[in-house]
A = this chain, B = another copy of it.
């Protein structure tokens, strides 16, 4: 395979012959020469190709190159006299592989609005910023797998189609193999593929617990879904979630793993995607680099939910939503606590049991649960986790109180009947993480194919 542009840009030039394949980012005709910037997606920077009139197709093709054309270039890798680049290629042969008619190709040299780019989601990865997002996602994806492997976790594929509803709330998409008339029968899902109503998972946690109790430390990283009709910059119908689950682990251990993970992932992006971060710092989010450094600088701040409520009440700030013990923290509250009060990531612990799901472990005070949320500047909640209720009778009580059918969850209760151990885990929204490290404000711009109300184009 040919070397990529990323490699060539770091190769010492010695007039060696190289071959490059990629797409034209810009083509500038100086009159006596053409300067063609070629990219291949391997990095943010392009490679400058200098084409001289002695090329046989100089007039017929080279001078007519436009943004988006695919080319193959043979030439010599030489030191570049131009600023900002160490090397360039002096073309000896330039072959046009695929044209991109500038009259109709939607991507031109100018800056396009993110709204316009969302309307051409099949072409936007070719732009600098969406191309950079894709590389950062890929780096983070690998870093996640590496992090957990190094710590002895087993990766588990939890199911996408499920008949359990982790949160005990609605908002699940239904999955069906029925069509037309079949859907109009009474109780149609009894005749359906799975013999009952099945839906798209909202979380792999309950199933991950199965494997925590056989393999000790496990994680699942996969797509999750919400059929929530919210047309906002914060919601997607389909998004990726990372969910580790650890046996013999309490809330303190859970927080330690989550904090170490976030610091590790941010460090990977800082180390491997410096050019991309620079781009986002300049064009998307001033202060991004400093915000990321603050993640590493010191331990995350910590306070209990009760302390957080007290801090909000005595802050002297006016909030849109009232602050009262027993209500969930609103986005404005979370951002105040994290951005203004702590000035860095903040872990809030021990929430009232009535605002948290049934599976969270009841604290000795009988009113709060061993929950933790990690709030980060600019985003709010990045991680939500808890120690799980491992005591059978207490869990059954919470499930009854939540109106759940214990029969349906008998498999989940079995985990407490047989060899139950203290265990804990958390969920990290992958797109929120990408937003955090890029500073991109709309979640639709950090996932390759956003699924939102009314929109699933390809």
Contact = CB atoms under 8 A, between A and B. Distances in A.
A240 interface: yes
A96 to B, nearest CB: 10
A421 B175 contact: no
Question: How many copies of this chain does one complex carry?
Answer: 2
A451 B194 contact: yes
A125 interface: yes
Interface stretch (A305-313, A351-359, A411-419): A411-419
B458 A98 contact: no
A58 interface: no
A174 interface: yes
B214 A41 contact: yes
A11 interface: no
A28 B72 CA distance: 71
A421 to B, nearest CB: 5
Contact of A449 (B21, B23, B207, B416): B207
Given A134-B214, A135-B154, A453-B194, A414 B176 contact: no
A157 B225 contact: no
A373 B200 CA distance: 32
A399 B283 CA distance: 41
A174 B164 contact: no
A155 B457 CA distance: 21
A421 B41 contact: no
A122 B183 contact: no
A266 B418 CA distance: 35
Contact of A193 (B40, B152, B227, B447): B227
Interface of A: 1-2, 4, 6, 21-23, 40-42, 68-70, 72, 97-101, 104-105, 107, 120-123, 125-126, 131, 134-135, 137-138, 141-142, 145-146, 149, 151-152, 154-164, 173-179, 183-184, 188, 193-196, 198, 200, 206-207, 210-211, 213-216, 222-223, 225, 227, 229, 237-238, 240, 247-248, 253, 390, 411-412, 414-422, 447-449, 451, 453-458
14 contacts: A4-B152, A120-B411, A122-B411, A122-B412, A122-B415, A137-B155, A142-B145, A145-B145, A157-B449, A160-B160, A161-B451, A163-B458, A174-B178, A194-B453
Given A6-B152, A98-B421, A162-B456, 15 more contacts: A2-B248, A23-B419, A42-B216, A98-B390, A99-B418, A122-B415, A123-B210, A131-B214, A141-B145, A174-B175, A183-B184, A194-B453, A194-B454, A222-B223, A223-B223
